[in-house]
Chains A and B, each alone.
Chain A
Amino acid sequence: MASEVLSILTADGRVSPSAVPDLDDGRLREMYRLMVLTRAFDDRGMNLQRQGRIGFYVPSRGEEGLQIGCAFALGKDDWIFPSYRIPGLAIARGASLETMLHQVYGTGRDACSGRQMPCHYSLRPQNFVSISSPIGTRIPQAVGAALAMRYRGERSIAIAFFGDGGTSSDGFHLGLNFGAVYDAPVVFFCQNNQWAISVPIEKQTRSETIAIKATAYGIPGVRVDGNDVLAVYAATKAAADRAREGLGPTLIEALTFRMGPHSSSDDPTRYRPKEKVAEWEKDDPLRRFQVFLARRKLWDEEFEKTCVEEAKEAISAAVTAVEKAPPPAPETMFEGVFETPPAELALQRDALIRLSASGQLTGRDDGYFPL
């Protein structure tokens, strides 16, 4: 049924053993560690923005469980078509903190030379496809990547991440329809965090659930507790397995809550009551998992301290290293438009370098992002 919500973790940590996915103790503790690291990374990102050291940040606070649950359910050859709110998934797939922060700072050592605004990662080694700000465009692209995998006889799958707002986009319809028609090995993962900037889910759709939309495309739709890392793991693994077996796509609706602002520039107190946030704070994915781990003697204060401190230290070390990196050189702006720059573009580049060298440029780096 598209209205049932798959949930494993309970408030008191008493979980029926048969419901717990087959993950050993070490993996369970690693999941927790990565959730803590994700939160610490986001907290630091927001702080860096507040201190004026970076221009912009997109926090994922409250959505750590779904990121790490997915990370453990997917294989390294699977392709991620990411939303801009899953940094933890990239880190869990092995992206280094320095790599992430070079992007956020837009330094000359960023893989794409500071071309994109913060949090728009591109991480080929992690099969984490370059992020664009438009919200639905990636959904049909994931279908295409999945078809390419099937064409070559690979066992990997593609997964597209998008928010509740993204389900209104044309890309959502296109992706689900094409994916379904071709039985593509793809998973559609909706991070239903209830808010598209200021617009609540009630104003985004009249559907009773997002999962139910899958029915119209002829594919299964499942709802999962997005703050329950184990439930997300189980649902994503099941959908990925199904896709790998050639049974076609699944739409997963992970119910969660955007605990922070849309971005460092957003002020959610303008449009949503504090009580709603407080309500969801009780359902913090870290706390839910912590209670479960504690009951199994996999978590104690010392483990917590170690996770938090190691995360903070690793992030601080990465920040220190990244802040030493110079900005990209002006000529890098002209690279990568095409594999080989057209002659006209090379002329534009050379003219800019001449002007820059003669000290004639007067542009000031004073842009401020309001959204």
Chain B
Amino acid sequence: MAVKTVLNAVNDALRTALRHDERVVILGEDVGKTGGVFRATDGLQAEFGEARVFDTPLAEGGIIGVAIGMALNGLKPVPEIQFLDFIYPAFDQIVNEAAKFRYRSGGEYPCPLVIRSPAGGGIKGGHYHSQSSEAYFAHTPGLKVVMPSTPHDVKGLLLASIEDPDPVLFLEPKRIYHKKFTEEVPEGFYTVPIGKARTHREGDDVTLVAWGAMVHVCLEAAEKASERGVSCEVLDLRTIVPLDVESVLAAAKKTGRVVIVHEAPRTAGFGAEISAIIAERAIEWMEAPIARVAGFDTPFPYTLEHVYLPDAGRVLAAIDHVMGY
């Protein structure tokens, strides 16, 4: 099996896309010569030239505005926002422009672009290099939001996003960029469908629902729970919008006990949406209240980041809670 990191998978997907489709271009801060601050675009400018992989001035609104124009006019731009925390100057372009172009033009001007951005904590980056703000974007009709958790899914979903006819925000959990995985990452072009969750572990007692880096926290918690005789199902959403409601409901009904885990602050986090859907459509299967383990309702801290981030211990406490209800 090919051992790849999430970061290798991003780079592989981008190289594959640049080879596969000449309309694909990459732009962003430091993406060119130095290959991105995380090296996600390493070697791409050398291989494909400055016309296809280029540095931008330091202005996220400019990066996304320009990418939108390219998308409207036949290219497939894959802009990088260096950290998700820096995306807000581009919020107007994303929310009011990219996400609404298809709708407001009656389909005359679709806007297929893929905004890549490292997201989430775990690298001691403080307030401005750690945020997990997927819920702001999930609240925007017209924008797809993808956040995979393994190299196979990263590559396949990034290629699917680039193929997609609509704008996609592709969030890369940077905390696991360098983690070595032993799952098969195929060579060349393949896609993983947007909007399909993935079951990482089958279980009968409790369903853990997560996305991005939190999937691995859930897997660690599930392993520990099994040592106590509690069997956990781990569902990785992979895509937040569109949400795989069918898989969420099936997994919830299967165990009757649900713990949702996300890094973002609890209030109005995407876990609230999942919880509401389960409550609306599967409440009669529930054996216990739906539980959430989330980031706290504080800005992301620096020194105490390891306390802020949900860990297996907090997930286990929630598992105990729903099992003991």
Contact = CB atoms under 8 A, between A and B. Distances in A.
A133 B129 CA distance: 9
Q: Return the 3 tightest CB-CB contacts between A and B, nearest first.
A: A114-B303, A117-B126, A367-B124
Contacts of B312: 362
A117 B317 CA distance: 30
A277 interface: no
A270 B34 contact: yes
Interface residues of A, number: 58
B193 interface: no
A367 B307 contact: no
A348 B296 CA distance: 7
Interface in A316-351: 327-328, 330, 332-334, 337, 342, 344-345, 348-349
A56 interface: yes
28 contacts: A106-B303, A114-B304, A115-B299, A115-B303, A117-B125, A132-B127, A134-B85, A136-B59, A165-B58, A166-B58, A168-B59, A169-B89, A196-B29, A197-B30, A198-B30, A270-B34, A270-B35, A342-B297, A348-B297, A352-B296, A360-B314, A360-B316, A361-B314, A362-B311, A363-B307, A367-B124, A369-B123, A369-B124
Given A132-B128, A135-B58, A363-B311, A170 B37 contact: no
Contacts of A196: 29, 58
A152 interface: no
Nearest to A330: B307
A1 interface: no
A204 B304 contact: no
A168 B306 CA distance: 35
B91 to A, nearest CB: 11
B267 interface: yes
A249 interface: no
A278 interface: no
B303 A328 contact: yes
Contact of A361 (B220, B266, B307): B307
B308 interface: yes
Interface in B31-70: 32-35, 37-38, 55, 57-59, 61-62
Contact of B55 (A56, A198, A365): A198
A135 B88 CA distance: 12
Contacts of A369: 123-125, 129
Interface in B250-307: 266-267, 296-299, 301-307
What secondary structure prevails in chain B residues at the interface with A?
loop
B189 interface: no
Nearest to A370: B38
A116 interface: yes
Interface in A352-371: 352, 355-356, 360-371
A330 B314 CA distance: 15
B79 interface: no
Given A169-B58, A198-B30, A361 B127 contact: no
B124 A117 contact: yes
A199 B62 CA distance: 16
B128 A115 contact: no
Contacts of B58: 135, 165-166, 168-169, 196, 199, 204
Contacts of A115: 126-127, 299, 301-303
B121 interface: yes
Interface string B120-143: 011111111100000000000000
B30 A116 contact: no
A266 B62 CA distance: 24
Contacts of A56: 124
Contact of A355 (B61, B82, B303, B313): B313
Nearest to B174: A370
Interface in A35-50: none
